[in-house]
Amino acid sequence: MASTELLASKVVILEEEPSIPAITALPSAVALALGITERGPIAEPVLLTSFEEYVRYFGGFTAEAELAVAAYGFFYNQGSFMWVVRTCHFTDLTDPNTAAAAIGSTMLQNSGTAATPGAVTSGNAETFALVDGDTLDITTDAGGPTTATVNAASAKVTDTTTYPVTAGTGELKARIDQGAEQTVTFAGTETTAAQIAATMNAQLSGCKVYESGGQVVIESDTLGTGSYVQVTQNPAANPLLTFPTSLVQGTGNVADVGAVTGAEIEAIVEAAVADVDVVVNGDGTLTFQTDTAGATKWIRIEASSTMDDAAKLDLDNLQHTGADNTPENTLQCKGKTAYDNSTVQVVIAAATSGAAAEFNLQVLDDGVVKEVFPNLTMDDSATNYVETVVNDAGTGSNLIEAVDQGLAYSALLKRPANGTSSAMAGGDDGLTGLANSDYIGNEAGPTGLYCFDRVSTGRILIVPGVSASAVHKAMMDYAESHRNGTMFCILDCPSGYTAAQIVAWVESEGIVEYSEYGAIYWPWIKVTNPAPDLFTSDAKGNVTVPYSGWVAGLYAANDKKLGGVYESPAGIGGGFGIIRGLNGVEDDPSGSAQHEVLDERKRDLVYPKRINPITKLEGTPWHIDGGRTLKSTGNFPNIGERRGVIFIETSVKQGLVVLKHRFNNRENRMLAKRIITAFLLREMNKGAFRSTDPATAFFVDASDQLNPLSLTFAGEMRIRIGLATNKPAEFIVVLVTQDTRALAAELNAA
């Protein structure tokens, strides 16, 4: 790039930042949906852009999962973005790990590798502290008991001196167990064998010296063939003592009976018991097993044994029987997420590649093949290793996770046997004990509604099928207070209510006049049954469902239209109140052929209570016939107003980030005013306000009067925005009167 420094004579082109940064309009119809799903991650928001994605992450339709129908309706009505959070019961709402849902699994086995012998393994590891004469009495299917015995004797030498001896001084040197040479110094006063033995015993280690039969004996402390004694030099001053100087070794079938090795016990037992093999395991324990394998082979260490003591080998006295060629657990297939997956099975078949060590894996759900993974292997170094393929986050299974059990065999011997597995067991949806509190959740978890804290773009909040007032109020509190008025709630009314009942319900539950950040509709709606095998259809093939997801989709569809976010989602004009896929409303609970919502007098009951009816008038399609929020005294009591202002507020907030930490002076306050004004002018041209004259449509105040020095020194810049929002025409009144203009003209002429 050429230099822009003004050194040589040149023409320099510089690009300047826009004098008025533009406010980018934020998405206004990103839905947040919380509820029960068939499966999927728990308390973790997932962004979805289609119903196919919903099915991939959260499964399909189930009797309990109203959220699936809501997501279907949202995307069917042209919704584009939905964040979904699956909930269940939590034993501690502050800890998502306490979810009651559990992962089910099934275990696949190989075809078997070899028959196994009867075997018993020691509880203790080598070396073993035994004593001379310890035994193992072993009985097998071939007979017995047969005894294997440990023998060990120490090395010792005896002097041939005649006592008493002539007094004198001198030294004696000896080596014990082939250790370093040790020296004994005599005082010259010792005359008896007992006195000589006492002097030597005090100065020699690793042995004991004592008088026996009138002679002095030196005996190693070690018992076994590792025991040695050798007198290397008799006293030099006088011929005081006469010990043989040859090397004497201990005897037995172990080197040191106090530290017997596994190999020594192996040799002793296999020499004594013809049909038993002893295996020294890698951890130092010993396995005693029949020398042939099969279900008829067995071994028992008898209780008469002394070597089986808990302080020695620690062997039980039970009969241990072998087995014929038995399949072993080789591959666990478990649910990818926690849910009742008892309809899921795995099928192993010959690989299409023809390789003997490879296999095809199919995942069945309710008997239907859902996924196929061909030519897998148990070789963990291969690219087609079963864990690598099945567990891949992008292309792997949506239903299972594969876990290699780590058998120490070749890939061929580890290969799962062909066949269909048992159904997954141990899975749990976690719905037992489900309460309103699980939907509401806790910020510390986060659980429930608070899982959406990390989704800053969410603007429409639904909890499909839940009509508990505690949940409704928590939703509106979350939207209005916790999220600072940045989202709007669509509340599902209870199912099967008459007009009088729904009015009584909103009044008794305190829903009406609670918040302008929520709206409620009535009644539930009928749509074409999306899962006839699961839901019972009426005579027209419809099923009754909660409306929140479908209405949220309508909001999203409206927002795609120019200025649609400011429009009331009601009526038939422009299609702003027509829900795609809506075939009717739920049957009247009284059994009447015509639902009360079709009666204008019944709508006269519900609408003043800010309940928006879903109805059809003569000659019109089914549509929403009301656009009120739940609070008449709010700043913006209509849905179009409230949602439009949410859109403006969130967009302005994001657009003014460029001024954070800049000088809090009049110049930057005026820049903020220009930024906001430019944005509001664009929105005005979309029909956001009652006027198309900026002077009467809105105002932006960033004056010095609004920003005294006290606020400036506190680091606060204050801007006031006034919006003349549009009001919907809820009532159209036509005045009809007699035309008396001709009569008036005649009277005036007279």
Nearest to 420 by CA among 50, 684, 147, 108: 108
User: Which tokens is 692 given?
Assistant: 């198309």
Q: What angle do CA 111, 117, 120 make, to 5 degrees?
A: 125
3-class DSSP state of 282: coil
Amino acid present at 90: F
Residue 189 lies in a domain: yes
List pLDDT tens digits, range 197-232. 999 999 999 999 999 999 999 999 999 999 999 999
Residue ranges with strand state E in 357-470: 359-365, 368-376, 400-404, 419-420, 460-462
Amino acid present at 324: D
Report the pLDDT value the prediction gives residue 741, as an integer from 0 to 100.
80
Domain C-terminal end among 388, 420, 452: 420
Same domain, 136 and 261: yes
Peptide bond into 532 cis (omega under 30): no
Peptide bond into 523 cis (omega under 30): yes
Kindly state the greatest CA–CA separation across the chain: 180
DSSP H helix total and E strand total for the chain? 16, 36
Q: How far apart are CA 477 and CA 510, in angstroms?
A: 13
Same domain, 546 and 456: yes
Q: How far apart are CA 46 and CA 59, in angstroms?
A: 13
Residue 577 lies in a domain: yes
Same domain, 682 and 735: yes
Q: How far apart are CA 656 and CA 97, in angstroms?
A: 39
- Residue 442, CB-side half-sphere exposure with 13 Å CA sphere: 13
3-class DSSP state of 116: strand
3-class DSSP state of 591: coil
Residue 585 — φ and ψ, nearest 5°?
-125, 165
Q: How far apart are CA 337 and CA 99, in angstroms?
A: 12
Number of residues that make up the chain: 750
* Residue ranges of the chain whose pLDDT lies below 50: none
User: Which tokens is 607 given?
Assistant: 């609408």
Same domain, 398 and 316: no
Strand 31-35 and strand 82-86: the pairing is parallel
Same domain, 563 and 531: yes
Residue 91 lies in a domain: no
Residue 722 lies in a domain: yes
Nearest to 142 by CA among 304, 292, 318, 303: 292
* DSSP-derived secondary structure letter, 725: B
Same domain, 611 and 714: no
Q: How far apart are CA 611 and CA 467, in angstroms?
A: 14
Residue 175 — φ and ψ, nearest 5°?
-120, 135
User: Which tokens is 440 given?
Assistant: 């509401």
Contact 56, 482 (CB under 8 A): no
Nearest to 576 by CA among 586, 585, 566, 584: 566
Nearest to 84 by CA among 118, 110, 50, 113: 50
Contact 64, 585 (CB under 8 A): no
Contact 706, 719 (CB under 8 A): yes
H or E stretch covering 712: helix 709-713
Residue 49 lies in a domain: no
Contact 385, 376 (CB under 8 A): yes
Q: How far apart are CA 615 and CA 626, in angstroms?
A: 10
Neighbouring residues of 146: CB distance < 8 A, sequence distance ≥ 6? 137, 138, 139, 272, 273, 274
Contact 523, 586 (CB under 8 A): yes
Amino acid present at 342: S
Domain total of the chain: 5
| Residue 546 Cα distances to 77, 520, 535, 587, angstroms | 15, 11, 14, 13
Domain residue limits at 309: 119-151+257-321
Domain C-terminal end among 267, 292, 321: 321
3-state SS record for 619-676: CCCCEECCCECCCCCCCCCEHHHHHHHHHHHHHHHHHHHHHCCCCCCHHHHHHHHHHH
Residue 40 lies in a domain: no
Same domain, 561 and 609: yes
Same domain, 567 and 696: no
Contact 29, 559 (CB under 8 A): yes
Compute the radius of gyration of the chain from its Cα atoms.
46
Report the pLDDT value the prediction gives residue 733, as an integer from 0 to 100.
63
Q: How far apart are CA 384 and CA 376, in angstroms?
A: 5
Nearest to 425 by CA among 349, 483, 313, 345: 345
Domain holding 203: CATH number? 2.60.40
Contact 345, 167 (CB under 8 A): no
Same domain, 462 and 575: yes
Report the pLDDT value the prediction gives residue 587, as an integer from 0 to 100.
86
Q: How far apart are CA 176 and CA 434, in angstroms?
A: 77
Residue 239 lies in a domain: yes
Contact 335, 401 (CB under 8 A): yes
List pLDDT tens digits, range 389-444. 999 998 999 999 999 999 988 999 999 999 999 999 999 999 999 999 999 999 99
Q: How far apart are CA 433 and CA 371, in angstroms?
A: 33
| Residue 594 Cα distances to 561, 572, 589, 597, 619, angstroms | 34, 21, 10, 8, 16
* DSSP-derived secondary structure letter, 163: S
Neighbouring residues of 487: CB distance < 8 A, sequence distance ≥ 6? 32, 458, 459, 460, 461, 479, 517, 646
Report the pLDDT value the prediction gives residue 218, as an integer from 0 to 100.
96
List pLDDT tens digits, range 436-458. 999 999 999 999 999 999 999 99
Look-up of token digits 């099945």: 390
Same domain, 131 and 162: no
Domain C-terminal end among 321, 345, 363: 321
Same domain, 245 and 261: no
Other C-beta atoms lying within 10 Å of the C-beta of residue 644: 28
Q: How far apart are CA 210 and CA 17, in angstroms?
A: 106
Residue 114 lies in a domain: no
| Residue 117 Cα distances to 54, 125, 278, 292, 576, angstroms | 52, 21, 12, 6, 78
Same domain, 463 and 566: yes
Q: How far apart are CA 336 and CA 105, in angstroms?
A: 10
Neighbouring residues of 313: CB distance < 8 A, sequence distance ≥ 6? 122, 123, 124, 128, 136, 265, 286, 307
